[in-house]
């Protein structure tokens, strides 16, 4: 787990073009480790260290998937994972609710590409569950957003370093 923690800590900022490629390498490794630990935890021989390790892997995986889902260029699978974890739903529950096969959700979350029909259904589910947590900044609201941005830009132009231009001019004249 130390290797994965170091790799996560070394990831570039989510806005970096390299973020998703590097994050996917880490996520793939964490999925394999999670699978092995899940299998070990299911064995009849009790071991607290296995369940502690499994818990840590799941927490790190959830956190990285949530970061990836909110980053520009995120995949539908990353977005879906983040939304369903936030909503406390299993992959099977989401698949049933969307009218899709259960294994599709796991495949998408592992990087597979959906068909257009699957993507439409899953985007509907994501929207119904409130959207991707932390990704509000990625969604623009057409002309209303553009008008607000234009107004904000005009307002900023009348300020210098957050100071009203008239105050700056008055201070310079005194």
Write out pLDDT tens, residues 127-161: 999 999 877 655 543 333 444 444 444 444 434 33
Are 114 and 148 within one domain?
A: no
Write out pLDDT tens, residues 67-106: 999 999 999 999 999 999 999 999 999 999 999 998 999 9
Domain extent for 123: 2-140
Are 160 and 120 within one domain?
A: no
Distance CA 65, CA 8 (A): 11
Phi and psi dihedrals of 159, rounded to 5?
-125, 150
The number of domains in the chain is: 2
Are 160 and 80 within one domain?
A: no
Are 136 and 153 within one domain?
A: no
Are 56 and 136 within one domain?
A: yes
For the stretch 64-68, contacts whose Cβ atoms lie closer than 8 Å and that sit 24 or more positions apart, written own/partner, are: 64/8, 64/23, 64/26, 64/27, 64/30, 65/27, 65/109, 66/133, 66/134, 67/14, 67/23, 67/134, 68/14, 68/19, 68/20, 68/23, 68/24, 68/27
Q: What pTM did the predictor assign? A: 0.70
Are 62 and 80 within one domain?
A: yes
61, 31 Cβ separation under 8 angstroms:
yes
């Amino acid at each position: 787990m130390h290797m994965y923690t170091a790799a996560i800590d070394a990831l570039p900022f989510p806005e970096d073009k390299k973020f998703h490629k590097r994050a996917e390498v880490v996520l793939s490794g964490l999925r394999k480790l999670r699978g092995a630990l899940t299998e070990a935890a299911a064995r009849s021989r009790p071991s607290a260290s296995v369940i502690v390790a499994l818990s840590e892997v799941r927490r790190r995986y959830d956190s990285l998937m949530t970061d990836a889902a909110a980053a520009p260029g995120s995949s539908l699978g990353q977005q879906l994972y983040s939304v369903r974890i936030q909503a406390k739903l299993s992959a099977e529950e989401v698949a049933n609710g969307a009218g899709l096969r259960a294994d599709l959700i796991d495949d998408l979350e592992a990087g597979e590409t959906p068909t257009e029909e699957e993507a439409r259904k899953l985007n509907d589910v994501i929207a119904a569950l409130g959207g991707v947590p932390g990704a509000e900044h990625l969604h623009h609201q057409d002309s209303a957003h553009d008008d607000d941005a234009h107004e904000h830009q005009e307002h900023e132009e009348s300020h210098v370093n957050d100071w009203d231009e008239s105050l700056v001019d008055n201070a310079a004249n005194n």
